[in-house]
Structure 1
Amino acid sequence: MSEWTWKRDVMQRYDLTANIYDMRYSEEQTAKIGAAMQNVRMGKETSVLDVGCGTGLLFNHIASKARTIVGLDISRKILVQAKERADKFSNVHLILADADNTPLKKGTFDHAFALTVIQNMPNPLKTLNEIKRTTKPNAVLVITGLKKKFPVEVFRSLLQNASLNIIALENEGLNCHVAVCTIFLH
């Protein structure tokens, strides 16, 4: 299957479930966000990229803590849902884009979140490298990986192959591994 066919299938799947996404997944996503936020600090000047932002559940948890949040997703219909949430905050902006080919400048963000993203990508390493490209050298990245797709050793290896240092790895009681990382500088 080509990369675009893969991504189109993912986009269509999220387009079909956009209206029920929060009902189906908000509890699970909130647990992941909670696990991540135990190990993430941000200040009023922090700029955040939310890759695969979905309906924008993360916005509720960080909008009051960050200067700017950019939510990016490939699904137009899920971004319609995210817009309803984003409109409550003056510092949240949405972009319809592919996580592997973002229209974002290099070195823009202090933090990046990719919750429930890499398991949906045909080449997770490519996705992680694009996320890294958009972040500053001292950025904090929060990456989740579905346990049934990424056994912990495979997940750790993927992050290490992307030159990410794992600061914290949470997975107790979650269906995902939640990694808080920094970029390994050579």
Structure 2
Amino acid sequence: MGILEDKSNARLFYKYLSKVYDQVNRFNWTEEMRSEALSWLEFGEDDKVLDVGCGTGFGTMGLLEHADDVHGLDQSIHQMEKAFEKFGKHDRVHFYRGDAERLPFADDTFDIVWSSGSIEYWPDPVAGLSEIRRVAKPGGQALVVGPDYPHNRVLQRVADAIMLFYDEEEADRMFTEAGFETFEHHIQRATPQSPRAITTVAQVPEE
């Protein structure tokens, strides 16, 4: 387990990173990448949408372009305070402080569940994905963005020591164990020199 997969370490990390997160993040996860990911989802007129690990609200902002009923959850109050500055605490988005592996929502609540830049900090990613499936409505959609596993052996050792990086084979395993049956992976990248993101779009099984 990487050092930032420990929840207390991750909270401390984001206490300081939150000050510059939006400036740093745009080099690895751009508006163009977000728009491309959003295009892989099918939004309905009255969809209820959840952003798991919403952070400062970069993904949330994109979701608001497609849905009016948007909810955001994060464990870092410092990250969420940046989101409050953008959207207000109770205005455009309903915010919750909570744990991705124990989502505080009833079964079958959301039409779409989105999570970008969060899974790499979950100590038990299968548990988090299982929670996403649980709170999503049957026939709904889930989209999860995480860091693709590097090919360079030196970078692999560094990645393993920090947080979760995973390739398509590992994504297959995690999503299958979490109860998803239909999903596809996309590799996204800001520039040829940027780290690769692996974006998985999954259909929530009908019950």
TM-score (norm 1): 0.88
Matches of 1:152 and 1:63 in 2, distance apart?
29
RMSD: 2.2
Secondary structure of the 1:19 match is coil
Secondary structure of the 2:137 match is strand
Equivalent residue runs for 1:6-45 within 5 Å? 6-29=6-29, 30-45=31-46
Matches of 2:122 and 2:200 in 1, distance apart?
17
Q: Which runs of no fewer than 5 residues in structure 2 stay unpaired? A: 150-164, 191-195
Matches of 1:181 and 1:97 in 2, distance apart?
23
Aligned position for 1:76: 77
* Higher Rg of the two aligned structures: 2
Q: Which runs of no fewer than 5 residues in structure 1 stay unpaired? A: none
Aligned position for 2:118: 117
The offset of 1:32, in angstroms, is: 3.8
Q: Tell me: higher relative CO, structure 1 or 2? Use CA pairs within 8 A at least 6 residues apart.
A: 2
Aligned position for 2:133: 132
Aligned position for 2:103: 102
The offset of 1:142, in angstroms, is: 0.2
The offset of 1:173, in angstroms, is: 2.7
The offset of 1:172, in angstroms, is: 4.2
Among 160, 178, 185, the alignment partner of 1:162 is: 178
Asked whether the equivalents of residues 33 and 188 of structure 2 are also in contact (C-alpha less than 8 Å), the reply is no
| One-letter amino acid matched to 2:70 | I
Aligned position for 1:180: 201
The offset of 1:51, in angstroms, is: 0.3
Aligned-residue identity in percent: 25
* Range that drifts further, 57-66 or 150-159: 57-66
Kindly report structure 1 stretches of 4+ aligned residues shifted beyond 6 Å: none
Kindly provide the CA deviation profile for residues 13-58 of structure 1, in whole angstroms up to 9, marking residues without a partner as x.
1111101000000343334422311211213301110000011012
Secondary structure of the 1:177 match is strand
Aligned position for 2:142: 141
Asked whether the equivalents of residues 136 and 204 of structure 2 are also in contact (C-alpha less than 8 Å), the reply is no
* Range that drifts further, 15-24 or 162-171: 162-171
When the two structures are aligned, how many residues end up with a matched partner?
183
